[in-house]
């Protein structure tokens, strides 16, 4: 099948057209600065040159129109007829407690997404706008939603409840949900495949370290804990997000700095984490460079970043009652031997032994632990789009079956 995978943000739409038989991307691209007059679309079809088209893109509907047009373009496209698109799979950020797996998008699903906007005010509205835009331009195509939160719906109550009055959970669904679920699921399944063992017999810790970052404890293929919470602000130190905090801090800062709610949220989400602490950048490549040049605050920031990962490795080993595999993924996890080395350093006592050479030269999917390491350590490039395409294909197949 040919599945169009969409990741709709507030001002951008990332897309991939994936052939599920070959598991390869036929075309990838992004529309950026939606809503602005200087918007642009970057597009690359398999075996064709990369192009950029500049122009005004008013909203998600126009953006989808452009994506379809470029996929059909005689020189840069990959499709002769729009009917070649078998289905559209959307990355949807927040499924709340409503969705524990991928679903076909129906009117009820859209209503549930709208009901959940309070939980994901920044993410769910553009996801809904993307779904509505596809309904407008491809009215006959099946659409599916693959949720960032779904994989973590197996967390037990003792892991997802906060220590606040229970009635607030009942009233507002305040609890930990976790995110990056599609990535944690994918890399844990790949780790099991590389170990040639059924995932149902493995204890795996996954670390998705991108600009946003989270870790998960996966017992027999099911997430039992993860570092992000009700929102993606909790847990690890991230590019611009603070991660775990003393909950009194926002109150203290708001009072001292005379900040309102919105300003406080911006401080925690956009000006904290690596950028806030180092005062330089949120890009870990530049932080590593600054450390090499002897920048003190960059050094303590990098140490704090890696220390937090190590702390959660220990916590999740306890939660799982042991560890068979540890997986690094995401921009930092896949590309930084330094973070992999530092976050695993001193963990030899629990059977985690990195092979320095394998770690430095890690390419593609690989085992970077020593042959006698009790815990296998992997670097595995994530592929959330492929999971979305395969889940969508499965749903389309079940719809076809039902019709027969």
Burial of residue 257 (number of CB atoms within 10 Å: 0-12, 13-18, 19+): exposed
Query: Per the structure block, which two tokens stand in for 46?
Result: 């398999």
Q: Which residue's CB comes closest to ligand ADP? A: 331
Residue 345: other Cβ atoms inside 10 A? 12
Q: What are the C-alpha distances in Å from 202 to residues 188, 199, 220, 227, 248? A: 9, 5, 5, 20, 38
Helix (H) or strand (E) holding 26: strand 24-32
Task: Quote the tokens at residue 216.
Answer: 């998960």
Using CB under 6 A, list all residues that contact ligand ADP.
Answer: 210-212, 239, 283-285, 288, 330-332, 335-336
Instruction: Specify the 3-state DSSP secondary structure of 377.
Output: strand
Q: How many residues does the chain have?
A: 404
Helices (H), 201-352: 248-257, 261-270, 273-278, 284-292, 296-320, 330-335, 337-344
Rounded CA gap, 97 and 114, in Å? 14
Phi-psi category of residue 330: left, alpha or beta, with phi > 0 → left and psi -120 to 50 → alpha: left
Does 225 participate in catalysis according to the annotation? no
Greatest alpha-carbon pair distance for the chain in Å reads 67
* Least Cβ distance, residue 210 to ligand ADP (angstroms): 3
CA 113/CA 96 separation, integer angstroms? 9
354 DSSP assignment: B
Q: Could you give phi then psi for residue 121, rounded to 5 degrees?
A: -65, -25
Q: Exposed/middle/buried for 326, CB within 10 Å: 0-12, 13-18, 19+?
A: buried
Catalytic residue among 148, 225, 367, 391: 148
φ, ψ of residue 32 in degrees (nearest 5): -120, 160
Q: Is 50 within 8 Å of 72 (Cβ atoms)?
A: no
Specify the 3-state DSSP secondary structure of 8.
strand
Using DSSP bridges, classify how beta strands 325-329 and 222-226 pair: parallel, antiparallel or unpaired: unpaired
Cβ–Cβ under 8 Å, residues 341 and 303: no
Q: How far is the CB of 122 from ligand ADP (least distance, A)?
A: 14
Q: Which of 193, 128, 214 is nearest to 380 (CA)?
A: 193
Q: How far apart are CA 93 and CA 180, in angstroms?
A: 8
Residues assigned a catalytic role: 148
């Amino acid at each position: 099948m040919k599945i169009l995978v969409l990741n709709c943000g507030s001002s951008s739409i990332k897309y991939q057209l994936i052939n599920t038989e070959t598991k390869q991307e036929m075309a990838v691209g992004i529309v950026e600065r939606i809503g602005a007059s200087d918007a642009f679309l970057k597009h690359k079809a398999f075996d064709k040159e990369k192009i950029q088209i500049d122009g005004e893109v008013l909203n998600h509907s126009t953006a989808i129109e452009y994506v379809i047009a470029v996929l059909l373009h005689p020189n840069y496209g990959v499709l002769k007829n729009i009917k070649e698109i078998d289905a559209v799979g959307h990355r949807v950020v927040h499924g709340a407690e409503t969705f524990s797996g991928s679903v076909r998008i129906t009117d009820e699903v859209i209503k549930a997404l709208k009901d959940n906007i309070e939980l994901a005010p920044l993410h769910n509205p553009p996801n809904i706008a993307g779904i509505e835009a596809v309904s407008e331009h491809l009215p006959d195509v099946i659409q599916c939603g693959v949720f960032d939160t779904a994989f973590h719906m197996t967390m037990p109550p003792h892991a997802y409840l906060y220590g606040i009055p229970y009635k607030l959970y009942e009233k507002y669904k305040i609890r930990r949900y976790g995110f990056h679920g599609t990535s944690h699921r994918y890399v844990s399944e790949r780790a099991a495949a590389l170990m040639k063992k059924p995932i149902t017999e493995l204890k795996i810790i996954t670390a998705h370290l991108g600009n946003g970052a989270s870790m998960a404890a996966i017992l027999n293929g099911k997430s039992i804990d993860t570092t992000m919470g009700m929102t993606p602000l909790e847990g690890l130190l991230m590019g611009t997000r603070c991660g775990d905090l003393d909950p009194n801090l926002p109150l203290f800062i708001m009072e001292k700095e005379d900040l309102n709610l919105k300003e406080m949220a911006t401080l925690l989400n956009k000006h904290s984490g690596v950028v806030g602490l180092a005062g330089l950048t949120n890009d870990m490549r530049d932080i590593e460079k600054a450390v090499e040049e002897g920048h003190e605050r960059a050094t303590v920031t990098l140490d704090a970043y890696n220390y937090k990962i190590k702390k959660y490795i220990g916590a999740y080993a306890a939660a799982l009652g042991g560890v068979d595999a540890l997986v690094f993924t995401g921009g930092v996890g896949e590309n930084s031997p330094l973070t992999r080395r530092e976050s695993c350093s001193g963990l030899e006592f629990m059977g985690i032994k990195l092979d320095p050479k394998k770690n430095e030269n890690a390419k593609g999917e690989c085992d970077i632990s020593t042959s006698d390491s009790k815990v296998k350590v992997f670097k595995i490039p994530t592929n959330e789009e492929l999971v979305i395409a395969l889940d969508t294909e499965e749903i389309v197949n079940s719809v076809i079956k039902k019709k027969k």
